[in-house]
Structure 1
Amino acid sequence: MLKCWPAVKAYFQKLGEDHCPPLIWRHIDNEAGEKDYSTSQTYMMFLQTTLTPIEETVLILEQDALTAPELFEAMLRLLNSLKQRKADSFFGTETDKALRKMPPSKARKVTQDFLKFFEKTIAYLEAKFDFSEKNHLCALTPFSLKKSVTYDHLRCAAEQLKMEKIINLDNLYSEYTDAKSLMDEQVACVDPKITVDKKWVAIFSEMGTRSHKCENLLLLVSKILSIPCSNAFVERVFSLMSARWTETRNRCNVDLVKAELQVKVNFDMDCEQFYHRIIGMPESPAQSFGYVLESSQQRCCCTEDKLHSGN
Structure 2
Amino acid sequence: MQTWTALKSYFISLGDECPKQVQALLKLNRDSTVEDEDIVEIYLLFCNNILSLFEEVVKSLESNRTTCVELYSIMDEFRQKLIQRRDDQFYGYLTRQKLQRLLPHDAHMARAEFTAFLNTAISYVEKWFDFSEENWLFSLQPLLLQHGNLTFNQIEKVATKLNLINKLKMNELYDECTTANTILRRLREEYSDAWKSKGVAARWMAVFKEVDVPNMLSIMRHILSIPASTGYVERIFSRMTNKWSDCRSRCSVELIRSELLITLNFEQTCPEFHTTALKDKELLSAARSNKKYSWKKK
Q: Name the TM tier (shorter chain).
A: 0.7 to 0.9
Note the C-alpha offset of 1:159: 1.0
- Residue of structure 1 equivalent to 2:296: none
2-structure distance, mates of 1:85, 1:227: 33
Q: Deviations over 1:234-290 (max 9, x none)?
A: 01111111122222322222222112111110111134433554676xxxxx55324
Q: Deviations over 1:3-55 (max 9, x none)?
A: 33334334444555x65433223231487322596111000111222222222
- Residue of structure 1 equivalent to 2:140: 140
2:125 is aligned with 1:125: yes
Q: Which moved more, 1:144-153 or 1:133-142?
A: 144-153
Q: Which amino acid aligns with 1:199?
A: R
- Residue of structure 1 equivalent to 2:295: none
- Residue of structure 1 equivalent to 2:193: 190
Q: Deviations over 1:192-251 (max 9, x none)?
A: 5532212211211111xxxx4x22111001111111011110011111111222223222
1-structure distance, mates of 2:277, 2:19: 59
1-structure distance, mates of 2:14, 2:230: 44
2-structure distance, mates of 1:253, 1:83: 52
2:20 is aligned with 1:22: yes
1:77–1:15: structure 2 CA closer, same or farther, 3 Å change rule?
A: same
2-structure distance, mates of 1:20, 1:277: 56
- Residue of structure 2 equivalent to 1:257: 256
Q: Which moved more, 1:253-262 or 1:190-199?
A: 190-199
Counterparts of residues 1-311 of structure 1 (less than 5 Å): 2-13=1-12, 19-27=17-25, 28=27, 29=29, 32-34=32-34, 38-148=38-148, 149-188=150-189, 189-191=192-194, 193-207=197-211, 212=212, 214-277=213-276, 286=280, 288-293=282-287
- The answer (yes or no) to whether the contact 2:62–2:229 under 8 Å persists in 1 is yes
Q: Tell me the secondary structure at the aligned position of residue 282 of structure 2.
A: helix
1:30–1:5: structure 2 CA closer, same or farther, 3 Å change rule?
A: farther
1-structure distance, mates of 2:161, 2:31: 56
1:190–1:144: structure 2 CA closer, same or farther, 3 Å change rule?
A: farther
Q: Tell me the secondary structure at the aligned position of residue 193 of structure 2.
A: coil
2-structure distance, mates of 1:241, 1:9: 40
1-structure distance, mates of 2:134, 2:99: 42
- The answer (yes or no) to whether the contact 2:35–2:102 under 8 Å persists in 1 is no
Q: Tell me the secondary structure at the aligned position of residue 85 of structure 2.
A: helix
Number of aligned residue pairs: 284
The CA RMSD over aligned residues, in Å, is 2.4
Structure 1 length as normaliser, TM-score?
0.83
2-structure distance, mates of 1:31, 1:158: 67
Structure 2 length as normaliser, TM-score?
0.86
2-structure distance, mates of 1:248, 1:68: 39
Q: Which moved more, 1:134-143 or 1:189-198?
A: 189-198
Note the C-alpha offset of 1:187: 4.6
Q: Tell me the secondary structure at the aligned position of residue 165 of structure 1.
A: helix
Question: What's the % identity of the aligned pairs?
Answer: 31
- Residue of structure 2 equivalent to 1:305: none
2-structure distance, mates of 1:109, 1:154: 50
Stretches of 4+ moved more than 6 A in 1?
none
Larger radius of gyration: 1
Q: Tell me the secondary structure at the aligned position of residue 165 of structure 2.
A: coil
- Residue of structure 1 equivalent to 2:294: none
Q: Which amino acid aligns with 1:24?
A: V
1-structure distance, mates of 2:31, 2:110: 15
Question: Which consecutive residues of structure 2, in runs of 5 or more, have no partner in the other structure?
Answer: 291-298
Question: Which consecutive residues of structure 1, in runs of 5 or more, have no partner in the other structure?
Answer: 281-285, 297-311
2-structure distance, mates of 1:262, 1:24: 45
Structure having greater relative contact order (Cα 8 Å, sep ≥ 6): 2
